[in-house]
């Protein structure tokens, strides 16, 4: 699997990783979901994203099962809920996540979204403590605007924000106006969540489908491979599609390792335009 440098961490991470929202919710599906995640690991999709919020810890437990005996292969990411993100609450939430994931450390720990629950300085101090105590290698945020990123970074003494995980798919390119360029300048990795619009892919608009189908016919790739390749076309941008079926995971692995031509990129740009910079940040 092709990799990009992950912000300024010095670590390389696969362009296509795996999301896990809604996984672990149905006991009857768990074996298949573990198999899907392990299929992804076999294909090099080792960036696994979960959160304490997902299924109230059920997703983390499922990820723990999927990575058992393979922890060293994985770039493991989970998130603290804003309502738990006081200084002590963040540390306790991380310890609970580690127990559910059955590991002693994370690769990346994120604040799930910005909120007024606790001062951002408290959360950032707790995240720095978690790095210093070996509970996570890197820290970051999710759903942050440029101003929120600046404010969070200013609270940090020894660490840097490694990543901003944001909603980014062909039908929602709002981050390209300000957030993406800012992150690229600041050396912050951008991780595209819901790259298939939470199942809303392919898009309904006829001209958009036709653009994807034409490029698919010319390149021999599927529309989903094209979408993932478009999102991760620039260094430092990653995608984490969620797929509970191994055949879906295999298709998604094909979203990296090849390049869209300039002509194809221009056609996609035209069919899926970036909204004006004044558009507020989309969130799932
Ligand atoms: N930080 C945040 O606030 C935030 C918010 C939302 C999501 N996320 C993260 O991002 C991950 C991905 O986003 P998402 O779960 O919202 O949605 P998504 O990845 O955009 O879409 C998931 C849907 O697409 C389907 N799918 C995936 N690959 C497919 C393929 N090759 N062919 C056909 N269908 C395919 C899945 O079906 P099957 O499952 O049946 O395979 C599922 O129904 C989440 O799981 C989560 O880890 C983060």
Along the 284 residues of the chain, how does pLDDT read in single tens digits? 999 999 999 999 999 999 999 999 999 999 999 999 999 999 999 999 999 999 999 999 999 999 999 999 999 999 999 999 999 999 999 999 999 999 999 999 999 999 989 999 999 999 999 999 999 999 999 999 999 999 999 999 999 999 999 999 999 999 999 999 999 999 999 999 999 999 899 888 889 999 999 999 999 999 999 999 999 999 999 999 999 999 999 999 999 999 999 999 999 999 999 887 777 778 87
Distance 194 CA to ligand 1 centre (A): 5
* Pocket probe mutation, ligand 1, options 201, 242, 248, max atoms within 8 Å of Cβ: 242
Query: What's residue 203's pLDDT?
Result: 85
Please name the residue that has the structure tokens 């299924």.
55
* Pocket probe mutation, ligand 1, options 110, 194, 200, max atoms within 8 Å of Cβ: 194
Give the tokens for residue 265: 């990129």
Q: How many Å apart are CA 134 and CA 143, to the nearest integer?
A: 25
Q: Which residues line ligand 1 (CB under 6 A)?
A: 19-21, 49, 112, 142-143, 165, 193-199, 224, 240-245, 248, 251-252, 284
Query: What's residue 284's pLDDT?
Result: 77
Q: How many Å apart are CA 191 and CA 16, to the nearest integer?
A: 10
What is the pairing mode between strands 136-142 and 18-19?
Answer: unpaired
Q: Based on the number of CB atoms within 10 Å of its own CB, is 151 exposed (0-12), middle (13-18) or buried (19 or more)?
A: middle
Query: What's residue 277's pLDDT?
Result: 74
Query: What's residue 281's pLDDT?
Result: 77
Distance 173 CA to ligand 1 centre (A): 17
CA dihedral 264, 173, 139, 97 (to 10 degrees): -100
Distance 153 CA to ligand 1 centre (A): 29
Give the tokens for residue 95: 């310890």
Query: What's residue 166's pLDDT?
Result: 98
- Measured from the CA of 197, which atom of ligand 1 is nearest? 20
Query: What's residue 42's pLDDT?
Result: 98
Distance 283 CA to ligand 1 centre (A): 14
H/E stretch holding 13: strand 12-14
- Measured from the CA of 247, which atom of ligand 1 is nearest? 31
Query: What's residue 282's pLDDT?
Result: 81
Distance 148 CA to ligand 1 centre (A): 25
Note whether 166 and 219 are within 8 A (CB): no
Distance 121 CA to ligand 1 centre (A): 31
Closest CA to 101 of 123, 70, 145: 70
Which residues pair with residue 14 across a beta bridge?
A: 3
Q: List domains and CATH numbers for the chain.
A: 3-271 (3.20.20.100)
* Pocket probe mutation, ligand 1, options 37, 40, 47, 193, max atoms within 8 Å of Cβ: 193
pTM of the model: 0.96
Note whether 79 and 40 are within 8 A (CB): no
- Measured between its terminal Cα atoms, the distance across the chain in Å is 27
């Amino acid at each position: 699997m092709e990799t990009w440098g992950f912000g300024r961490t010095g670590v390389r991470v696969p362009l296509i990783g795996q999301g896990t929202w809604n996984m672990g919710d149905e006991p009857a599906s768990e074996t298949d979901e573990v198999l899907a995640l392990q299929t992804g690991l076999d294909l090099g999709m080792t960036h696994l994203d979960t959160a304490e919020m997902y299924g109230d810890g059920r997703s983390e437990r499922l990820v723990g099962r999927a990575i058992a005996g393979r922890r060293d292969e994985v770039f493991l990411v989970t998130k603290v809920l804003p309502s738990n993100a006081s200084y002590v609450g963040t540390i306790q939430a991380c310890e609970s996540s580690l127990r559910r994931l059955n590991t002693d450390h994370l690769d990346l720990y994120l604040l799930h979204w910005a909120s007024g629950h606790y001062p951002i300085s408290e959360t950032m101090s707790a995240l720095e403590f978690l790095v210093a105590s070996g509970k996570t290698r890197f820290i970051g945020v999710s759903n942050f605007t440029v101003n929120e990123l600046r404010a969070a970074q200013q609270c940090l003494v020894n660490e840097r924000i490694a990543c901003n995980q944001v909603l980014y798919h062909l039908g929602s390119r709002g981050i390209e106006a300000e957030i993406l360029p800012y992150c690229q300048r600041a050396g912050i990795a951008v991780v595209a969540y819901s790259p298939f619009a939470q199942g809303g892919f392919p898009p309904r608009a006829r001209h958009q489908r036709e653009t994807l189908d034409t490029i698919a016919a010319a390149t021999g790739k599927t529309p989903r491979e094209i979408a993932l390749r478009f999102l991760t076309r620039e260094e430092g941008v990653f995608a984490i599609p969620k797929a509970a079926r191994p055949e879906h995971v295999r298709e998604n692995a094909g979203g990296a390792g090849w390049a869209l031509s300039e002509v194809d990129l221009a056609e996609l740009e035209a069919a899926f335009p970036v909204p004006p910079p004044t558009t507020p940040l989309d969130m799932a």
